[in-house]
A and B are shown apart, each in its own frame.
Chain A
């Protein structure tokens, strides 16, 4: 399975090649991949239904307890099934939707990569692996939202989605690290069995906060909900797939997965149910302000995600059953509705529902699909959405935390959603026929098959909910409920949830009837909404840019002397602190040197002093050179031939480089004020003192000898070399050397680019035939 996912990533990379061979048929071909996964998952079902869960082991970084082990139980099976089935349908849909699009291969690469990341996310058993896939979905989502990269709105939305989800991802990483520490394991399968150990741990509160931030940003919970509607800048297949059926549910998936490990506590239940309920209301309320069909659907997705979070917060057996049913229902109808929205956009050339009307005459089949899916969204019988909503209301009625408040929020959300469903289904297809930018036709079969299949499933599962019993049961048992007895039925008799449904039908119809008026009234609230979380995000971004500008001007001002002062001061602070506070400073030494050693040392001091007072650049360079060669001499005297050779060669090449740049420098002048020179003197003096003290204390201490002992004794047996310096460089510390090689490469690229740009600027300002520069 792991290999299959990795192969899927490779297949994603092959999409451009396939596109060259098969052209417009490529999306259909690519759809085979998720379809094959779906078939494979289906074959696993019988053993899962028996209550077994599969653990596919795969070592990744064994030393760090990081694995690519996959855990397939009811929960991950359900998600994986949704990802693969809807994925296949979306790819088929894409074939028509993006027909003739020049960048179709790029789209296929990214969406297939997303599909594999998402599958990895829901199947991963290891926290690190889960996190890697989690971030991959954020990145692929970014690339897909910004697919039309020439459109500034798409670019801005993509960046916003990325910043919000990846910012949450950072919190999640911190949360995972704490989770692994508190639970002594990186494996989800193990952690979910250590619920009591985790909830009683001192780190529980901070890790809960971090994990929740990660999940809430990904699943667009209030106050992070704003990125999701903006993500509608993506092509519609992306909205249908990532931003309603799969990726935005990753946060909810994680919460469900961790429910047995972290759930059942007061903070968990309170936070989740309140945040979820508030998100529900926010989504439903913001939805009816919009006339753009994709935004309407996006806000109703926010509402649905809020519902799912709230149900997890309530956390009773009934609520978890409602969670699974609602999740399935939502994925089916919302995927279908988004694809219908794409068809409408494609055929009419507008996304504004008020600009469409009476379309059922020209596209009766699309109208039928839209109506069925909308009935499920509205929560009306006999569709799966109805069952989901009834179960949701039942469990809300049974909750004891803020029961009244949550019920109010949930009920308001429900009737506003009904109004949204009515708007989406009735406005475009019924009423007076309006002229649209394009003349609409019935959509091609390729675009209709996906939404039609999803709508049929909504209806089928609604009429015969018994088919879902074992699926829901298996999934719920993955959430930590032992032996759940699940019997979904369409008709529960006349009870309070049903009455609430009737009431929401009435209220929702009223909202729909007076929608235009209500929208006008709601426009009065715009100033308030513009001060909402999105405004906060923009302020934060602007603040970050201002801070970056300030600190760049302050730290990176382009003067080497300031960089040096800054670097030395930081070193002084850190090393000085460690030297004086961490270790007792013991200095005891006796001057015991040969005459020639004293001479070399004297030469070095003379060179250093001379370089400071010389009035000519060449002389100063020569004085520094004296110092360099004296150091090389010291290395020779203390029998370190490698270092001596290196030092001599570096000195030589430095002189060559200096000669090359010397003529290009301005006339030697004193640029700093006396005050600055005193500052420099103090900094340089203290740094010199620090280094001297450091050397002296190293001579005294014996804690540093052990490392070199190891190197000396193992150089020949382990490294097969007598030159210890070289063995350290290319074997013991080869990774460091490799890193340094990259630094070297980057530095030389930097030099090259800088001088090239300088040359180009020079060309531009003087022209190639310009007069000769007068070198100082």
Chain B
């Protein structure tokens, strides 16, 4: 059903993908103070990959992603769980946010950020899982051509 797109789409997708991904990371990082955050950033990234898929097809998407979308979900959950541990280490109740300043760069790092990265990965992973699963069933149906 889904075939490689037109020239305009192909070029647009190739140019837009890095921009969209960059934008999603930007949204993710600024999310704590400005509109954005892991969920929104994850949706933007999923949109970027989906556009790429419409332009170049299932196999190209798989080659570019390298990892299975389901592994992304698992990694997201892992990040989410990891962000709960530092509080434990500090002897504070489960999930208490911890804040550090990275020495040289002066950036603030925190467990909520780690958690947000987890949300980001889980969202990208599950949207892509659903989309690739749908595409794969199409392939089964069409494989008889």
Binding site for B on A (CB under 8 A): 63, 641-642, 645-646, 649-650, 652-653, 656-657, 660-661, 663-664, 719-723, 725-727, 729-731, 734-735, 737-738, 741-742, 744-745, 747-749, 751-752, 755-756, 758-759, 762-763, 766, 768-773
Distance A512 CA – B80 CA, assembled complex (angstroms): 67
CA distance A445 to B80 in the complex (A): 54
**Is A730's CB under 8 angstroms from B36's CB?**
no
Name the CB-closest residue of B to A733.
B95
27 A-B contacts, Cβ less than 8 Å apart? Answer: A642-B35, A642-B37, A649-B40, A652-B47, A653-B127, A663-B1, A664-B138, A720-B108, A720-B110, A721-B32, A725-B37, A729-B38, A730-B112, A730-B113, A730-B115, A734-B83, A741-B76, A741-B122, A744-B122, A744-B123, A744-B126, A756-B136, A762-B140, A766-B144, A768-B143, A770-B144, A772-B142
User: Cα distance A771–B97 when bound, in Å?
Assistant: 58
Can you name the residue of chain B whose Cβ is closest to the Cβ of A755? B133
With a CB–CB cut-off of 8 A, which chain A residues contact B134?
Answer: 657, 660-661, 755
With a 10 A CB-CB cut-off, give which of A63, A727, A755 has the most chain B CB atoms. Answer: A755
B117 nearest CB across to chain A (Å):
10
**What residue of chain B has the Cβ atom nearest to residue A738's Cβ?**
B80
Tell me, rounded to whole Å, the shortest Cβ–Cβ distance linking A399 to chain B.
52
Please state if B140 and A763 are interface contacts (CB–CB under 8 Å): yes
Residue pair B110, A772 in contact (C-beta under 8 Å): no
Q: Report the bound CA distance from A755 to B135 in whole Å.
A: 10
Find out whether the CB atom of A656 lies under 8 angstroms from the CB atom of B122.
Answer: no
User: How many residues on the B side are at the interface (Cβ–Cβ under 8 A)?
Assistant: 60
Taking CB atoms, residues of chain A closer than 8 Å to B108 are: 720
Q: Would you give the shortest CB distance from B128 to chain A, in whole angstroms?
A: 9
Contacts of A773 in B (CB 8 A): 141
Q: CB < 8 Å: which of A657, A721, A727, A729 contacts B39?
A: A729
Residues of B within 8 A of A731 (CB): 97, 112
**Which residue of A has the minimal Cβ distance to B44?**
A649
**Does any Cβ of A come within 8 Å of B145's Cβ?**
yes
Query: Is the pair A720, B99 in contact by a Cβ cutoff of 8 Å?
Result: yes
Please tell me if the beta carbons of B133 and A721 are within 8 angstroms of each other in the complex: no
Are B130 and A748 in touch, CB under 8 angstroms?
yes
| A722–B129 CB distance below 8 A | no
Of residues A664, A730, A772, which shows the largest number of chain B Cβ atoms within 10 Å of its Cβ?
A: A730
Q: Which residues of B are at the interface with A, using a C-beta cutoff of 8 A?
A: 1-2, 31-40, 43-44, 46-47, 50, 69-70, 73-74, 76-77, 80-81, 83-84, 93-95, 97, 99, 108, 110, 112-113, 115-116, 118-119, 122-123, 125-127, 129-131, 133-138, 140-145
* B31→A723 contact, CB < 8 A: yes
Nearest chain A CB to B74 CB, angstrom units = 7
Given A738-B80, A755-B134, CB of A649 within 8 Å of CB of B140: no
Complex CA distance for A124 and B130, rounded to whole angstroms = 47
B40 CB contacts on chain A under 8 angstroms: 642, 645-646, 649
Pair A723/B32 contact, Cβ less than 8 Å:
yes
Given A734-B95, A751-B129: A772 in contact with B144 (beta carbons within 8 A):
yes
The residue in chain A whose Cβ has the minimal distance to the Cβ of B114 is A730
The reply to whether A720 and B32 contact each other, CB–CB distance below 8 Å, is: yes
> Nearest A residue to B43 by beta-carbon distance?
A649
Q: In the complex, which residue of chain A has the Cβ closest to the Cβ of B140? A: A759
Decide yes or no: A737 and B119 within 8 Å by CB, A745-B74, A751-B130 being known contacts. Answer: yes
Interchain CA distance A284-B47 in the complex, whole Å? 73
Q: Are A723 and B140 in contact (CB under 8 A)?
A: no
Q: Could you say which residues of chain B place their CB within 8 Å of the CB of A752? A: 70, 129-130, 133
Is the beta-carbon distance between A726 and B47 smaller than 8 angstroms? no
Min CB distance A744 to B, Å, is 5
A737 and B115 within 8 A (CB): yes
Q: A766: which B residues are within 8 A, CB to CB?
A: 144
A742 and B140 contact, CB distance less than 8 A: no
